[in-house]
Amino acid sequence: MTTTAKVRFQIRKLGTTRINIDDITFKGLGDPGIIVGPPDTGGSDTTGNTGTAAPDRGVIAGTDAQPATGDNSNILLGNPSDAQPAIVMANNYLIDQKYYEESYNSTRGTPNWVSWHLDATNITNATARLDNFAGFNGLPAGFYEVESNSYSGSGFDRGHNCPSADRTSSVNANSATFLMTNMIPQAPQNNQQTWANLENYLREQVVAGNEVYIVMGSYGTGGTGSKGSVSTITSGHVTVPSNVWKVAVVVPTGDGDVNRITATTRVIAVNTPNVNTINADWKQYRVTVRDIEKATGYNLLSNLPQAVQDAVETKKDNL
């Protein structure tokens, strides 16, 4: 049977013979509609961010943190903007948050990009979504520090780059995703529908036996939230991006990851407008990696051989 509609299966026993069923697997190209892990867009993304700011904190790296280098490290496939942990790089400041790495932009008050590795060990649901938003206490002196309540009343969600549901292996891991340096002002429908659906789809790929290298970022100025269009919030300290993008490299679980990524590896690139009228179907916003590079000036997947880059970065995903 070939269909693009939703299908319901029923298993019915006929007769008196005993039937033992242990595992059933349905395979296809569509979205199975399974929610993997706790939802990543609880009401606290928008609500609950009023009142006194939560105490600032940093990251505590447990044994479940990604390795600093090599397979499964968070920027194994490249540093898109050549970010450095140098104070003079205030608008392209590299921060190793152990469970992800990011280029932070002090002028915009948001990350330029966040990069992380995702596999089955990260989504064990050892902890629930913590909702413990907080400012990051590791920024250099002079950098503007966004607080947990900085988006209050703005009409924009505190939108995760590295999702909470991608880091449920420990309290340390989940807490790291709630630092405000991991957030952007994201239109509620963009965050809670389109991006939530894409994030869950990538976790489904992990459940299906893959690992995924992901980099997400934003660019431009001016988005439309639940209260209309603005360029900045927090008295001008936080820039509202016009676009939100993501690149995901999907490979079967294994070792020697860079060498296993070839011209036929599936690479998903998505670029959405940061507006509240966005369609919930993320597949409508697929582009090529080169499209995102052109818009941002970044060099994505730069640690792959050039021939592989030329192949995977020029193809638009269509599965």
The 10 Å Cβ neighbour count of residue 192 is: 21
| Burial class (CB within 10 angstroms; exposed 0-12, middle 13-18, buried 19+) of 11 | exposed
Q: How many whole angstroms separate alpha carbon 186 and alpha carbon 230?
A: 12
Catalytic member of 108, 129, 158, 160: 160
* Separation in Å, CA 155 to CA 31, 164, 173, 232: 30, 21, 28, 11
Helix residue ranges, H only, the chain: 171-176, 188-189, 196-207, 257-260, 289-296, 306-312
| Kind of pairing between the strands at 238-239 and 243-252 | unpaired
Is residue 237 part of the annotated active site? The answer reads no
Closest CA to 106 of 141, 54, 157, 75: 141
**Rounded-to-10 torsion of CA 110, 38, 248, 72:** 90
| Residue 232: both structure tokens together | 């900045």
Closest CA to 181 of 149, 156, 147: 147
Q: What are phi and psi of 269, to 5 degrees?
A: -125, 130
Tell me which residues are annotated as active site.
Answer: 160
